[in-house]
Structure 1
């Protein structure tokens, strides 16, 4: 009924329903990009933030921007990734949540805070995305930002941690599925390339694979790429 305040139980049920819908959306996301986009959009709806973003470790073990809801978040991230210092970098390295209540008064990263404050960001909350207990299990961080000082309450921080757990598992699963899909694709390409060699040079499968492998090693090219070039050009690399 209008005008009737929500009880703690009502809020809990609403949050549970929201996370249930998020879990389904993350499960249905076709890839990592779609997964992190769903995470940041949920953050805007469920938390006291105006902007949100996700940075993920790349295969080169360097954090990269994966999703932002506003260009200002990309600026906040770039300031840290270029200098390798700031709350986001610390959250990644130390697997710890970093809350800045006001960028104009926090003195832990003064140069970064001054630049971020000039962008209009006053409160920040960085929560690591981790799937286990080891340092290698950290997959990234979700950053939440507000132009209002002291915007994030204890409830916001608790919800952010729940969101981070959902996001961590979803990102890890999406990456695993993408890796498996790439492996299946690579096997198909190598099989097609082997077929071309077997037909052209009248060799068996073992010999055809050995030829591809030799060219891969001699040219320092991935086996998949050698196979793709043979399929596209009907020629082996020089």
Structure 2
């Protein structure tokens, strides 16, 4: 079997370590932190950040940054809906800015970012699905040096973004499943309290919880939690 050249071997080992770190991460927050820290190690960037989309949300949220300057770069775009981040989310394409002092695609934004000391920007979409048509976020890479990102950096960034997209989607799914299991346990405990106190069956106990949830516009799990904590149901809002 032919051996890899030293640079390729180091990169393969680095990605193998990333895969293990993402697999061992306890949740979404730990997962995204591992991604941005890895970006600093593997790419020609001084700062990195990750913005994630959430179903039903009006705009993306800043999930992780390695420096406050990245939060400023993101906020300038999210507040105005103008900039490479917005374009990446909308068009599911990579955006490379070689020099913010000369790029004319988003001149007002670029001028502000250049004033922050950022010259090079590489934004890569985090795509999921078999046909990679769903964008779950954007990996942003930044450097104070003009033309900092070459073809190798872009290729590595795409690999990292793919790892990140799968890991974030998996972590979100795990958290959702955990939340759902916890909610079922809470509702079950609350139903048990009602069944014992009022001598009703499980269907009637669930109906009582559901009615209080609807009357007060409170999630069912929150009604259940309040009953467990206080042994009282919330007062009707009607």
Shared fold (TM-score greater than 0.5)? yes
Q: Distance in 1 between matches of 2:156 and 2:23?
A: 19
Residue 219 of structure 1 and its aligned partner are, at CA, apart by: 1.4
In structure 1, the gaps of 5 or more residues are 1-6
Structure 1 residues 68-116: Cα deviation after superposition (integer angstroms, max 9, x where no partner): 0000000000000001110011011110000000000000000000000
Superposition map of 1:1-238 within 5 A: 9-61=5-57, 62-132=59-129, 133=131, 135=133, 137-238=134-235
Residue 8 of structure 1 and its aligned partner are, at CA, apart by: 7.3
In structure 1, the residue corresponding to 2:5 is in which secondary structure?
Answer: helix
* Cα RMSD for the two superposed structures: 1.2
Structure 1 residues 5-27: Cα deviation after superposition (integer angstroms, max 9, x where no partner): xx972211111110000000000
The more displaced of 219-228 and 67-76 is 219-228
Q: Distance in 2 between matches of 1:98 and 1:224?
A: 42
Q: Distance in 1 between matches of 2:230 and 2:56?
A: 31
In structure 2, the residue corresponding to 1:190 is in which secondary structure?
Answer: helix
Q: Distance in 1 between matches of 2:64 and 2:96?
A: 20
Structure 1 residues 39-65: Cα deviation after superposition (integer angstroms, max 9, x where no partner): 000000000000000000023332000
In structure 2, the gaps of 5 or more residues are none
Q: Distance in 2 between matches of 1:63 and 1:76?
A: 13
In structure 2, the residue corresponding to 1:65 is in which secondary structure?
Answer: strand
Q: Distance in 2 between matches of 1:167 and 1:65?
A: 15
The more displaced of 222-231 and 171-180 is 222-231
